Amino acid sequence: MSIRFLRRTIVADDIGKIHLRSRGTYGRRRIQAALLSECDMVVNHKLIHSIMGELQPWIPAVVATVRITRCSVKH
């Protein structure tokens, strides 16, 4: 087994625990913050999103989108 595979497995396990503990309400950003504060792990957001995508049936990997609209204002 490679170190990359072992790290990914450990991170996936911790993501699953954090997500389960939050009753499915934590997304990628909160999970990233929880990994840093609770597990002292610095994990890239792309890795978290990828792992959440692999665990798709169990963890939804939904990314919130922000819509910015411009208003035309006459002065």
The residues spanned by each domain of the chain are 1-75
CB-based contacts of 28, cutoff 8 Å, min separation 6: 45, 48, 49, 52, 61, 63
pLDDT at 1: 79
Residue 63: its H or E element? none
Q: 3-state class of 74 per DSSP? A: coil
pLDDT at 24: 79
pLDDT at 2: 87
Crossing angle of helices 3-21 and 28-39, in 10° steps, is 110
Question: Average pLDDT by consecutive 10-residue portion of the chain (75 residues)?
Answer: 89 88 84 90 90 71 62 64
Rounded to two decimals, what is the model's pTM? 0.68
pLDDT at 22: 84
